[in-house]
């Protein structure tokens, strides 16, 4: 009976440890893999609209068919990156990720009252959301600070119906993601 209790307890502890390890580490590794795939799917500092559904499903597993995506891998080691995007009147979201998969910024249509998104991503000391609020805007755009020189911007937009797919992709293609003419300081 003691042997049975010992092995039963050992199996329960091993199962618990396995569960904890897979719950903690696998999602992080999957995020890193996804961001790495996004960063290698396009040229640096260049916006790419992911129109090819097969390629999109290879990069982003489990993508809903009613979403359009554009990505811009960036490198701000020499200059900040400027993003300017006209936004649809449906759901949209802009997210910025570090190579580790850490999301450093997200904004969606319910958080902003405009049809235009403008941001400047600069390298420097990371700031909290409160510090990067309205007081940090320059020229109507948001200044986003990151400690990492590289990352990826992901813009997604709802496609209300199949007839709207080309229009959604065309609107995303109007997004600019390029090195800034200004050499904004990270302060």
Q: Is residue 7 part of a domain?
A: no
Strand partners, 67: 158
**Percent helix, percent strand, percent coil in the chain, to nearest 5:** 35, 30, 35
Q: Is residue 4 part of a domain?
A: no
- Long-range (24+ apart) CB contacts under 8 A made by 32-38 are 32/99, 32/100, 32/101, 34/59, 34/60, 34/61, 34/101, 35/97, 35/98, 35/99, 35/100, 35/101, 35/152, 36/99, 38/71, 38/73, 38/97, 38/152, 38/154
Q: What is the total count of domains within the chain? A: 1
pTM for the model: 0.71
Q: Is residue 21 part of a domain?
A: no
Print pLDDT tens along the chain (187 aa): 788 787 878 787 777 766 666 555 545 455 556 656 666 667 888 888 887 766 666 666 667 778 888 889 999 998 999 998 887 888 888 888 888 888 888 888 877 667 788 889 998 775 555 454 443 444 557 899 998 888 888 888 888 888 888 888 888 888 888 888 765 544 4
Give residue 139's domain range: 48-179
CATH number of 78's domain: 2.60.40.1610
């Amino acid at each position: 009976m003691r042997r049975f209790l010992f092995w039963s307890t050992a199996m329960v502890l091993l199962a618990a440890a396995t569960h904890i390890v897979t719950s903690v580490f696998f999602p992080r590794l999957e995020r890193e893999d996804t961001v790495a795939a996004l960063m290698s799917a396009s040229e640096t500092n260049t916006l790419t609209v992911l129109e090819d559904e097969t390629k999109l499903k290879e990069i982003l597993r489990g993508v809903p068919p009613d979403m359009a995506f554009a990505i811009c891998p960036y490198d701000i080691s020499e200059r900040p990156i400027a993003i300017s995007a006209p936004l649809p009147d449906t759901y949209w979201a802009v997210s910025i990720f570090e190579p580790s998969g850490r999301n450093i910024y997200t904004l969606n249509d319910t958080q902003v009252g405009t049809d235009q998104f403008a941001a400047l991503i600069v390298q420097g000391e990371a700031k909290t959301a409160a510090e990067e609020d309205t007081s940090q805007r320059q020229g109507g755009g948001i200044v986003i600070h990151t400690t990492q020189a590289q990352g990826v911007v992901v813009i997604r937009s709802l496609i209300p119906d199949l007839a709207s797919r080309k229009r959604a992709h065309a609107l995303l293609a109007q997004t600019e993601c390029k090195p800034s003419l200004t050499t904004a300081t990270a302060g």
